[in-house]
Amino acid sequence: MMDAALVESIIRILFAGVIITAAYIISTRNLLSLVSVYALQSATLVGIALCLYTIEGAVVLLGIALVTFASKVLIIPYFIATIQERIRIKRDIEFHYLNPTTSLFLSMALMLVIYMALSSIMPNVSGKPTLFFFGAVVGLSLVLMGMMVTFSRKRAITKVLGYLTMENGVLLFGMFVTELPFIIEFLIVIDLIILVILTAILTVGIDSTLEEYHNRLHRFYLWEGTEDVP
């Protein structure tokens, strides 16, 4: 066992890292770096899980770390990087509803709102070590920030990354607050779904916005096929 205070301070730095990567995903216009930032975010989560293991000693945390590392640091980024090699779009400069500056300010405000909401909902948690409470706040913020990416960006690939960020938030929230085994299952399911979506995208290509993507699906008769199934 390492010094608990030191580990806690490391976890705090990692929290900051997680939020900064999320902020980067929200605000950047450069598609190429998005994937590596996402991988970095996942790696940070792995780090958090490992640090938490040194405090709590639950083996399931090691499992989480392993699964996350394999799926989100290696496999998913690899898939997306492959896609990016095929398409020629390097920038996503179109924004819906929110421009990057506003969404950054909004996410700061959201963190505060979540903090207030959680401190009134979960008085028992706020009584526990502040680290866990803060983990919950960061996890939820990450979910909401990911959600903001999904609706404020136009390129499909950015939307997928927003979705992945959301899922990272769920993982983080799960690590600090709720029951663990359930979460692992949930997480793997979501990961599988994402992988399916990714392969679908891989076959079609996503050098387009989602609206165009629909058209393309129509053209390849992929959309009707799924709709015909009752």
Partner 1 sequence: MNGEFVAYCVINALAVLAIAPLYMSLIKKVKAWTQGRQGPSPFQTYANLAKLFRKEVIYSPNSSRVTRVAPSITLAAILVAALFVPLAYVPAPVGGIGNIILFLYLFALARFFMALTGLDAGSPFGGMGSSREMSLAAVIEPVTIIVFAALAFVFASLNIFDMFVISAASAFPVTPTLILLAISLFIILIVETARIPIDNPETHLELTMIHEGMILELSGKNLALMELAAAVKFTVLSALLINLVLPFGLVTTFSVAGVLAALLLFLIKGAVLSGIVGIFESSMAKMRFFRLPSLFVMAFFFSTLTIIIEVFA
How many residues bind to partner 1 according to rule CB under 8 A? 25
Residue type at 219 in one-letter notation: R
Name which of residues 170 to 229 contact partner 1 (CB under 8 A). none
Q: How far, in Å, CA of 128 to CA of 35, rounded?
A: 35
Residue type at 128 in one-letter notation: K
Among 4, 32, 70, 108, binds partner 1 (CB under 8 A): 108
Q: How far, in Å, CA of 54 to CA of 77, rounded?
A: 27
55 sits near partner 1 (criterion: CB under 8 A): no
Q: Helix/strand/coil (H, E, C) string of 96-158?
A: CCCCHHHHHHHHHHHHHHHHHHHHHHCHHHHHCCHHHHHHHHHHHHHHHHHHHHHHHECEHHH
101 sits near partner 1 (criterion: CB under 8 A): yes
Selection from 45, 41, 44, 48 nearest residue 77 by Cα = 41
Task: For residue 188, give the 3-state DSSP assignment.
Answer: helix
12 sits near partner 1 (criterion: CB under 8 A): yes
Among 25, 110, 111, 148, binds partner 1 (CB under 8 A): 111
36 sits near partner 1 (criterion: CB under 8 A): no
Q: What is the closest distance, in whole angstroms, from the C-beta atom of residue 200 to partner 1 in the complex?
A: 33
9 sits near partner 1 (criterion: CB under 8 A): yes
Q: Which residues bind partner 1 (CB under 8 A)?
A: 9-10, 12-13, 15-16, 19-20, 23-24, 27, 100-101, 104-105, 107-108, 111-112, 115, 130-131, 133-134, 137
